[in-house]
Structures are given as C-alpha cells and as structure tokens.
Chain A
Amino acid sequence: MNSILKTRRRFLRVAGAGALLAPFFDQLQSLAATNAVPHKVAFVFFPHGTPNTSGYWPGEGALGSLTGVLAPLQAHKGRMLIVGGLGAGLEKGYGHQGGNTAVLTGRGSSDKDGGFYIPRSPSADWLIARQLKQEPLVLGQKVSSGSRLLISWSEPKQTGAVTPTNDVGEAFKRVYGRSATAGTCTAGGGLSAPSPATMAGDVNVLDVVAEDLKALKAALPSFSRSTLDDQLDAISDLQTQAKAAASTPNAPTMSTGGGTSEGCYAAGTSDFYQRSNYMADLIVAAFQSGTRRVSVFQQGTASGDSFSVPGYGGYHGEVHNLSNGTVGDLTRVTKMQTEVFKDIGYFVDRLAATKDMAGAPLLGSTLVYICTEFSPYGESSDPHNTGSGLVVNLIGADDAFATTGKAISVKGSVGGVLRHAAKYMGVDVGAGLSADDIGKFEALPGIAK
C-alpha cells in the first residue's frame, strides 16, 4: 500500500523525466556538408574547490610532470593550458554557489524541489547551445549521498536549465533515442549500444511517419493546420538524430572493466567508478556524432550533500572544515579529489582513444574545460570562500589555444573562459544576454589562438 504510493510517486517522477526527453543529434552541419569535424566542448566542473596543496595549480610556467590531483592527466599535458588568476564569478551575490556553479550548471542558491536544486540561471551548455540553435544534450553528473549520480540535460527548446535526474537509463535513451539492452553485472557484461544498422532501421521507420504527418497535415483545414506541428518537429529531430547515429563510425563500447550495464545502475549499484565512467562513455558516444555538441559534466554537489567516494565521506564538510582550521585534514580532502580526477582522467583518455568522424582522436576536436574554485591561501583556508580565485584546465582541441603545455596567470572571470569556449564553437555566447546574467564576458588575453 505504501509501496503503491511510492510506485505512483515514482511513476509521476518518471513521467516528468520522460517529458524532458529530447533529441540529441541535432540539425547541425554534417561532415559531408562542411568537410570538417564538428567542434565539441565539455565543461567538467566540481564544486567546493580545492586547496593549493592539491597540486591543482602547478604554478606559472611550462608544465613538468603533473603531480597531485593532476597526475591522471599526465598523458595529455601537451594539450593542456592551465589558466590561473581568474575571478570566481561571484557577481550575482549567491556566494560561491552563484559563481561557477550557476554559470556552469544553471544552479544557484539553495532552493530545492524534491531534493533537487532548482536551476536559477542559464548554464554554460545552454548559453552556447542556444546560439547554435540546437537542442542540446547536457550530460552531467552529481555525486550525493550514497554516491548516487545525477544527470542533467536540457529540455527541448528550453528556456532555462532544468532539474537533473539520477536515471542514467534516460541519459542512454537521450543519446541513442532507444533503450539500451541491459547486460549483466558481471565482468564482461554491459550495455549493448545500438549498431549503425539498427539506427538505420529507426531512420526507415521515422521516414514513413514523417510522410504520414505531411500527408495528413495537407488534408487539414487551414484553421487547424498547426495541430501536427509539434509532432512534425519532433519526428524531424528524431530523424536527424537517428541518421547521425547510423552514420557514426566507431560505435562506442559501453562495457568496461567489471561490466557497466544499465541494469546494474538501475539496481542501484554503489560503484561510483562504474557510474562515473558510464557517464563519460555516454558523453564520448555523443561526441562522435556529426554535430557540434556541448555538455556539462558535474563532478560533485553545489552544496549540502556528502561526497562519499568509497573510503571517504563528508567531502562538503571536510572542505568547510579547512576554513575552520579545526580538522584541517588536507590529506583526506586531497585523496577525495584525487578520486574525482581519476574519473576526469578516464574521460579525457576516452576522448583521446576514440576516433572522430575523420579518423583522428576525438580529443583533437574537443575542448575540455575543467574548473573548480581554488584557494591561494594555504592549508587553513576555505577553498571556496568569497576570496577564492579560479583555475581552469583547458585540454584538447588542436586549434583552440594560443599556447599549450604551460600554466599562465590571467586577470579575468569565468565569463571570459566561457567566451573562449563559445568562440571555439563559432558562436557569440553573450548575444542577447546582459553581462549580469552570467558574469563578464571580456576576452582573456593569451588563451585563444
């Protein structure tokens, strides 16, 4: 009886999540049309910052061996540009949550709805995607109590950022327009991604539906001819999506390590790494399409929840305790952040190992932007207090940087980095927005090529 109630609530929640489904592969320029590999941007963000002892900011100059939390990125240091000295983007007065968090994820302040934060501002992916006139897939994740991950993506024709969900199966559907074939939770089991032939079958189905829609619309009286427009629009997008997937080479392998099946996730596995890697796999899969893409991949909560990477807990509280000087257990905080960077490293590794549509490493056409708050004040300082600075790690993208393999210090704000990313995507992210919306968009010298 209570379980029925719970089921109903879940049903309503699922229904809400279902309503958010939107096509992913959009009507962007195709490889054939432009003879160029579409650019992608991935924002990887973890909130609450990192202390200066973590190794996150190696100091200005050429990069040597990456140590500390950056160690998992060592293989890619030649593609990296680490930018320090930026403002944290606190212009809106929401504290640290209203700075980077709001800009990157659309989340701000502490309003919650059913345990989820209510987005209060445009997010980076949306700002760019809006200018691309696409309906973007925004894959991201959040770690909360019990190592649950939350995925967020934008809604069709969205007018703002949306509430994340923890249903990873929905993320899969969002990428492929169909459900994954659930595998087993044993080694070697895993998700079965649809083959290009399968997606081609979907194209055939959608083509027939589109013909029906057009024929029926033509038969409608003029006063009701718009009745089918939304459905036509949806089918058109789905056609584009399916065609892109059908023509995508190098279909990703979702099964990694001990097996990463949707069924495992649905069953509530507490394996943080499987979930995190799975999310990375989905983003990489999405980035293989013949479209420009932008995603947000959030590696932690804005506030309130624990970050219980196996073996450690209370990330949020631990970070705050740094400012109190009472616990000051930098070792534990740094170890937790090390785990985060293992996942970031996995993501970048996958981008490097996966071929784009021209057969080159996907990382070469993808700008990865890793960002968190940063404390320059030593062990006892709260890394996300209002005086925090900002460091971003920019990785990848053959043609995105003026220089790589070094760390530079630049005066500016997070809006400047966003401007750089938008420019890489070929759009003006600030068009139609006031600077107050997401901070300042001034150019950052020494970054762009």
Chain B
Amino acid sequence: MWFLGRSRTNKRACVKFPRTHVLALAIAASGCSGAVTADAVDDGEGGRGSGGQGGQQAAGGAGGADAPVVLSDLSTAPLAQMCSKGTWGPARLWRLSRDQLRNSLKDALAVDLTAAQLASFNDGAGLLFNNDAASLRIRKADAESWQLAAKDIAAAAVPSVKTANLCATLDAACAPMVVQFAANALFRRKLNDAEQARYQKLYTLTISASGGTGEKAAQAVLNAMLLSPYFLYRSELGTPVAGKTGVARLTPNETATALAFTLWQTGPDAELLQAAAAGKLNTSDDIKAQAERMMGDARFARFYVGMLADLSRASRIASREGADDVANAGTVMNTLSEEFQNYAGGLTKNGATFAQMLTNTSLSVANDTAKFRNLGTATGATMANVTLPSGLAGLLSLGAVNFANAGTDHPSPVKRGVMVRENFLCSPVPPPPPNIKQETVPRSADVVTNRDVYEKTMAPSTCNACHRLFNPMGYAFEAFDEQGRYRTMDNGAPVKLSGEIVDTRDANGMFSDLAGLAAQLSKSSQAQECFALNGFRFVSGRIETQGDLCHVNDIHAAWMAAKGDLKTLALLLVTSDAFVTRSTSL
C-alpha cells in the first residue's frame, strides 16, 4: 500500500494529548505572522503539522538543498501580485521516490520490490510533498544497503531478459542486445558509445569467468545498472537554450522521463521513448499530445493519489503518533488507504473538478470499510456507493485523512485545522513558541467533549490568538474520531461541527459542518490558487520561487477557464514552460 513504508525523517517528539495532559500552545507573540522555515517544522500537537508554511515570499526554494525554504502566503495577496518573472528551477538530478522505484521496476522488469528493499532509501522530507527533490538524496548507508538489495533484484529481473527473446541464446554475442534492453528498462534511454562498451565489457567478463553463464552476465549488467545513478536519478540537466545564458531546456529524453514520473509515477513507456527519439517532444504541443494520451491510462490515477495523500497528510497515516497502538492497526490502515486511493484515483476518471473533489457526497468504498467507518452496515469486500451523512463531504471526509490528522488517542482539531489552513489555503501558521506549555483543562460536567477540552484549554488569549486561525476549522472534523470513524456523539454528548474561516482573502465566514467548510473552500479563489500552487510544488518537487509564481498564476488562470477540471490542471502543469526549462547558473 502506498502509505506503508513512508516515514517522516524530520519527525520530532510529539506532545501527547491528553495522555500527558500537557499541550504546547502557539502564542501570537508577533501577531501570528512571520516566516516559517523548514527548521520550524513540527509534527507535534501544539499547533502545527509538519507542512509548515508561512512567510511572505519564497527565497531560494529552487536552489540547492541548503537554501532556506520559505513558502508563499496567499492569504495576504494573490499570485499575480506576488510574482516576479525571470527565474527558472535549477538544473538537477532528482532521485526517484520509493513509489517511483517500485513502480518502475514492476513495470519495466516485472520485479516486485520488498518493503525491506525499498527501505534502502528514505522518502523526501519536504515541507509538503514526499517527492521533495532536495531531500531525496542517496546517503552513504543508503547506497550500501541498496548494493545488497540490487543483487537480489537483478536476479529476479533475469527472467524478463530471457522472455524478451533478444537472442536465440544468452551467449556472448547477445551482449549488445542485453545491454540495450537493460538500458531501456532502467536508464530509460539509449546508451552512448562509452557506456555501451562499458556494460558490454561487464557482460563479457562475467560470461567468460569461471562458471560464467549468459544469465549471470545479464544479472551483472542489471545489477550494475540498478546501482547506477542513471537509474536512481532522473536527469534534469537539459541542453542550453540558444541566446539565453544560463538557461537550459530538458532534452527530449529527459522530457519523456519527466512526463512519465510525473503523470504515472513510473518510467516512460516505449511510445514516450520513441517520441523522444523521433524529436516529438520538443514543443508544448508535442508534450500535450503525449500527456493527453497518458491521461487516458489507468496509471494516471497515481498523480492525484500521490499529490492529495501528501496534501491531506493522509500519507502519514502509518507514522502518526500512536498509530501502532490502534487495535488491528495494519488492517485499519490498509482499509483506509484503499478508500483513499479509490477516491483520489477516481477523481480524474470521473472528470471531477476541484469543487467536486471537496464536496462530493458519495464514496465508492468496500462494505467492510464503510462498516468500520460507521457509514454502512453491510460487510464484505464488495464495493458499494455510500452516500455520506448530512454534513460530510469529499476529500476531507476520508478515513485516512482523519486518522492521519489525529492525536495519539483522540481527534485533533489542531492538526486537522492546520492541515486545511496550510495546505488548502496556503496560509501560514507559525510554530508554537518554545517552552510554552499549557495544562489541559480536565473533563468535567462543563467539559464533556473533545471539542470542549480544546476550547477551554485554548481559550486564553495568548493561545487563541493563533489557534483561532485553525481550531475552528478543525472542529468541523469532530464528526470523526481518531481512527476516522464517523460519530454523532462524543463522550455522551452530540458533536458540534460548526466553525469559522478567518483571516483569508475570500474564504472567510461561518460554516455549520464539514460540508460547509468544504463548500467555502471550493469557492475560494485563494484555495483554488493554493491548489494550483501545490500542484506546481508536487510536479516540480520543490518549493517555488517568485518567478515560479508567475507561471503558477498563468496556470491558475487557464485552469479556472476550464472550470477547475482536475485533469486540465495536470495537463497545464506539464505543458508549462516551467516544466521543461531549467537554470544552469544559480
């Protein structure tokens, strides 16, 4: 499942609530404003998820891994007022994510990676998305662990070489064909002469060694390619653009690779590689034609599954504090993961818009899952369309979203509210001030529900100055417990779902429940711009620069003209100049 094996490398110790009866509270010491950098990220209960946003302007997000990262604040100004033309993302290598490694080996060589093999590499630790290029590096220990894994993977891939019928027999004469077959599968391109000679030499050395066979030679070639940076990284180095110093455009082959790993989360298929070889990926129209073809493929579902899983933080379901302590944790997480994938993966298939993504009132879900979530009574694996109870709607009602954004043993209006504010409104939330702790108000006759506890505990102005920005949105999620199960009562009292969106450009207002919150978001220009911006971040694997905001603004405008169609947004993102243009002189 997509969530298994994901981990947050920047996870910090959480303040547990109410087990420890202590909350770290955010205090508006500076009016709840100010830049929030990667170092301020905190998974804790105290007012922030790990997707820290804030600050007025991106400052070098496109630069190297060491550049300070500051996210844009769309609550203060629209994209059009924040952008400044003239910059491009950096030429770079971009390591494949775990999902991409798994998908590409499965698709190209019919090899299923084990969890332990995938564990050789970390996922990215970006502020928002796990495909963050700056943090997707190969550490020394990763390389050594992968070296061991690659031997087994190469052995498992040999049957694919044999079934490709490259030669009558896998003998020395077959070296060129085996090497090129492996290069197409793993390097996603043809080799240059030096590379071809190098790998053919490895093949022939192996086959001529004592006990050597064609199979062992093929295995050695595959083994080396699996370890090679040409497999583990996507190249985005490009070639110089005439007349533009320091600017490069992705080569056709790099473009094919970028398209495949963006839209399908796997390597390019034969048609993409052929298009690249034939010079059919040089223009925006060429790319559009291929992208539209790819969007008709089932693998395109991975695009929004991946993006929305990180955006909603559902991808952190397994790493949530206390997740392991949930009864039948593995099954619960698998179940909720499948529900999420069905929903997110089905959006473009059904031609959904941004608004529909947030406000759909039905789910296609297995009966067992519906029963677990108190959304149905039937049992079994049969898929059924479930109409959500009144007051619930769309993506934010999914079990994985609510499970992942919960406290150790209770729902967390803070995490849920912060998730909405940061990731769906692109509005900054500063981290809790250090060394500020507030005793949790204990339950009593007047403090009955989880919401009561939060409201009473965070009532002091020092707390509420910041928590008012997100807690009231988080209360809309009180319809779900910490495992994502629907509920109407909490501790014997009815749950209260009403709340308010404040301090945004155009989403402000009261709502009565989660459906109301979703409806306000769906109509908000700020939320729509935020979604387009997050699409850009997901596609580029980095945080934006000022120059990027101009591209995002153009993309947003075109997307709105298409009435917020999700498939159109993906198409606009990959046909933008920003998708294929790089700076080589940062």
Contact = CB atoms under 8 A, between A and B. Distances in A.
Interface of A: 1-5, 7-9, 11-12, 14-15, 18-23, 155-157, 173, 177-179, 197, 200-201, 204-206, 208-209, 211-213, 215-216, 219-221, 223-224, 227-228, 230-231, 233-235, 237-238
B220 A14 contact: no
B486 to A, nearest CB: 21
Given A5-B324, A18-B119, A205 B330 contact: no
18 contacts: A2-B330, A5-B330, A8-B329, A8-B330, A11-B5, A19-B145, A21-B144, A179-B148, A179-B152, A197-B210, A206-B224, A208-B199, A208-B201, A216-B235, A223-B586, A234-B138, A234-B143, A235-B227
A11 B144 contact: no
B379 interface: no
Interface stretch (B51-59, B85-93, B339-347, B456-464): B85-93
Kindly state the interface size class of chain B when it binds its partner.
35 or more
Contacts of A238: 143-144, 147
Contacts of B152: 179
A23 B144 contact: yes
Contact of A220 (B139, B232, B237): B237
B229 A231 contact: yes
Nearest to B119: A15
A5 B211 CA distance: 43
Given A15-B119, A238-B143, 19 more contacts: A11-B116, A12-B7, A18-B145, A19-B119, A156-B144, A179-B151, A201-B209, A205-B224, A205-B227, A216-B235, A221-B585, A221-B586, A223-B90, A224-B93, A234-B138, A234-B142, A234-B147, A237-B140, A238-B147
Contacts of B324: 5, 8-9
A60 to B, nearest CB: 48
Contacts of B148: 18, 21, 173, 177-179
B229 A213 contact: yes
Tell which of B91, B137, B138, B144 has the most Cβ of chain A within 10 Å. B144
Contacts of A211: 198
B176 to A, nearest CB: 16
B140 A208 contact: no
Nearest to B332: A1
B38 interface: no
Contact of B64 (A2, A173, A205, A224): A224
Contacts of B224: 205-206, 208-209, 212
Nearest to B139: A230
Tell which of B143, B233, B318 has the most Cβ of chain A within 10 Å. B143
A230 B205 contact: no
Contacts of B334: 4
Nearest to B95: A227
Given A177-B148, A212-B230, A4 B64 contact: no
Contact of B330 (A1, A212, A227, A237): A1
A157 B228 CA distance: 23
A212 B231 CA distance: 10
Contacts of B227: 205-206, 209, 235
B206 interface: yes
B141 A156 contact: yes
A142 B577 CA distance: 60
A227 B93 contact: yes
B10 interface: no
Interface string B407-435: 00000000000000000000000000000
A201 B206 contact: yes
A177 B149 CA distance: 10
A253 B324 CA distance: 42
B202 interface: yes
Contacts of B330: 1-5, 7-8
Contacts of B228: 208-209, 212-213
A204 B90 CA distance: 34
A223 B64 contact: yes
A229 to B, nearest CB: 9
Contact of A208 (B92, B143, B147, B202): B202
Interface string B313-342: 000001000001000111100100000000
A1 B328 contact: yes
Given A14-B119, A211-B198, A204 B230 contact: no
Contacts of B384: none
Contacts of A216: 93, 229-230, 233, 235
Contacts of B361: none
Nearest to A216: B229
Given A224-B64, A231-B143, A235-B143, A11 B137 contact: no
Given A14-B116, A224-B93, A156 B220 contact: no
Tell which of A4, A22, A200, A219 has the most Cβ of chain B within 10 Å. A4
B115 interface: yes
A16 to B, nearest CB: 9
Tell which of A5, A179, A205, A215 has the most Cβ of chain B within 10 Å. A205
A19 B90 CA distance: 29
A216 to B, nearest CB: 5
B90 A230 contact: no
A204 to B, nearest CB: 5
B503 interface: no
B75 interface: no
A222 B563 CA distance: 43
A230 B144 contact: no
A18 B116 contact: yes
A298 B488 CA distance: 58
B138 A231 contact: yes
Contact of B144 (A1, A213, A223, A234): A234
Contacts of B388: none
A215 B197 CA distance: 14
Contact of B198 (A197, A208, A231): A208
A227 B141 contact: no
Contact of A1 (B116, B120, B331): B331
Given A15-B119, A204-B220, A228 B144 contact: no
A21 B141 contact: yes
B144 A224 contact: no
A73 to B, nearest CB: 37
B329 to A, nearest CB: 5
Interface string B184-216: 000000000011001101100110011100001
B584 interface: yes
A133 to B, nearest CB: 15
Contacts of A228: 93, 138, 229
Interface in B128-173: 137-145, 147-148, 151-152
B91 A224 contact: yes
